[in-house]
Amino acid sequence: MKSDIHPENYRYVVFKDTSVDFAFLTRSCVSSRETIVWEDGNEYPLVKLDISSKSHPFYTGKQKILDTAGRVERFRRKYGMS
């Protein structure tokens, strides 16, 4: 691996999804003022998320599929377009 290609602050960071209380540890350059003690006993910067793969409707299988063809037909019937 080439040396000196990563930013200086590339370090381990904990990302936490606050809606479902899910957290994961990964490496990132993002800055944070908050910290958290992780499962291994070390302290890492904490970044709070509103949504992650554990709460996103696409990944949880609760995604609603819109029937766009039905909506177009209702619009045409409502406004008398053929």
Which tens digits make up the pLDDT trace of 2-35?
Answer: 787 877 788 999 999 888 889 999 999 998 999 9
> In this structure, what are the phi and psi dihedrals at residue 68, rounded to the nearest 5 degrees?
-70, -35
DSSP helix/strand/coil, 78: helix
Q: Report the distance separating Cα 69 and Cα 73, nearest Å.
A: 6
Q: Report the distance separating Cα 30 and Cα 13, nearest Å.
A: 8
- Model's pTM, two decimal places? 0.63
Q: Report the distance separating Cα 55 and Cα 31, nearest Å.
A: 23
Q: State the pairing for strand pair 43-49/22-28.
A: unpaired
Domain limits of the chain?
A: 11-78
Q: Mark residue 24 as left, alpha or beta (left: phi above 0; alpha: psi -120 to 50; beta: remaining).
A: beta
